Amino acid sequence: MAESLRPRILVVGFDAALNDAFSDVFTDQVEVIRKDYDKKILSQEMEPAPQVVICGPFAQGYKATEIARALRGLYSSLPIFHLCTAREGFDRVALKSSGFTDAFLLPIDRHDCRQVILETLSRLSHGQIRAYRQIHLIDLQPGEILDFDTAIYMPANYKYVQVGRAGEEFDQTRFKKFIERGQSTLYVPSDQIHQFYHYASTRLRMLTQTQRREQLGQAVRGLLNGLIFEGTDGDSASQKNHLNEQVIEECEEIVRGYIRQSQNATWYERVAQVVNDAGDKELDQYTHSGNVSTLATLFSIGLGVGRPEELACAGLLHDLGLEDLPQQVRSLEPEAMNREQFRIYATHPELSCMRIKATRLGVPESVLTIIFQHHELFNGQGYPNGLSADQIRPEAQILSLADRFDEMTRVRRGQFRLMPKDALAKLSQMHYDPRLIRKLIELFGVETTEEGGQQLNPLKSVS
């Protein structure tokens, strides 16, 4: 890339963990200037001036409002972002009012943060750094000329590969190959996404699948932010609770609409669509909550167990308590925790229920029980209470299956994505109710044979 097109980023207060988390953004295509918080950084404009400023956690003795105003005074027209790793005191609205362009809480906002920064760098580099937006194959019409580029995402290589150029026909042969491979999503460069929206609006009267997915993501983010963070707008507790109730209803309706719009598909095709629709997103709480809600609803419908609307609600709220854990525990995967860290982590189902009760949302007791039990295992080795067999509500097992299924089939950098039937094969070897597993095997259409083929033994997990 020409030196003149390399965006210059001033990064302030980043520790090793943050630098590592954004290593795929801070490549040799950008010039990164790393500084610690000090009076000079906040009082003197750098030469040459940066084009983007990204602030990490504030150093002791520095106030957010002071840093925001100081940097905004130095760089009045630049994008200035704040990345925070501690929930205590995090107030996105107040931070933006102080002068930050936007503020993100990590790890929950990691994907959205990466997307915003990449799109900013893409604009500054005149497209030399590429950022992409996900679209859905169902929103494209074979045989038409597209005025935007298209790409597919390769999770094993963490790369986007162009498959179509603006001005080319999206032919029937290519469309058919995507369908045969189970490819339900494509990607459009972010700077061309408006061409896609214009294309969709002139051809489709109904809300597109791409728009439905975006709508669900926005609604879930609004819901979780409303429940996790304290507002600063002066609304009364009853007003905020009423708003949160409305957002829950909106999320549930979007989930129902998302399922209804694919009513001509088989049950398995609907499940596969939820997996594919996640696209290039690594596991983040907003997408995960929306996916688990949708999958739990589909599992409830397919298995004929529980009330789908209760599973939809439980899926949206099941991990709310994770945000009440200490930051050093939240940042670890369960398998990397020591005994004490895992003991703290295992309290999150109870913390989720406590937070829901504190908001007085009127969530049914049955939904709270489902959330509370969703990490219990059929063999009694789960948590928080070590329940076993029929002590666990079947709906809690369904929520747990949806939770683990989404985790297994999500993109992980440098790894091939696990396909839905492969995820079921793994789940069948875990400690779940064998009756539910048998029914899921039937729904997924996985054939079990005496010799060869895919062997799934639902009884092995409880033997």
Is the Cβ–Cβ distance between 184 and 136 less than 8 Å? yes
The string of DSSP codes covering 396-438 is: HHHHHHHHHHHHHTSB-TTSPPPPHHHHHHHHTTSSS-HHHHH
Mutual orientation of helices 308-317 and 209-228 as an angle, nearest 10°? 60
Task: Read off the tokens for 379.
Answer: 């063999």
Is-contact 185 134, C-beta < 8 A? yes
Helix and strand totals (H; E) in the chain: 19, 11
* Unique residue bearing structure tokens 């609600």: 313
Torsion sign over Cα 120, 123, 127, 132: positive
The CATH number assigned to the domain with range 3-124 reads 3.40.50.2300
Domains 3-124 and 209-462 share a fold: no
Q: Report residue 237 as tokens.
A: 């507790």
Instruction: Tell me the whole-structure pTM to 2 decimals.
Output: 0.66
For domain 209-462, is the CATH number 1.10.3210.10? Answer: yes
Q: Using an 8 Å Cβ cutoff, are 76 and 99 in contact?
A: no
**pLDDT digit of tens for each residue in the chain (463 aa)?**
555 678 999 999 988 878 887 887 888 889 999 999 988 888 999 888 999 999 998 878 888 888 999 999 999 999 999 998 877 778 888 899 999 999 998 877 888 898 899 999 999 998 888 899 988 887 888 888 999 999 998 877 778 899 999 999 998 888 888 878 777 789 999 999 889 888 877 765 455 666 666 666 666 666 666 666 544 444 455 555 555 566 566 666 666 665 665 555 666 666 766 766 665 555 677 788 888 988 998 899 888 899 888 998 899 899 988 888 887 888 788 889 999 999 999 999 999 999 888 877 778 899 999 999 999 999 999 999 999 999 999 999 999 999 999 888 886 666 666 788 888 888 988 999 999 999 888 888 754 433 333 333 333 333 2
Domain positions in the chain: 3-124, 132-203, 209-462
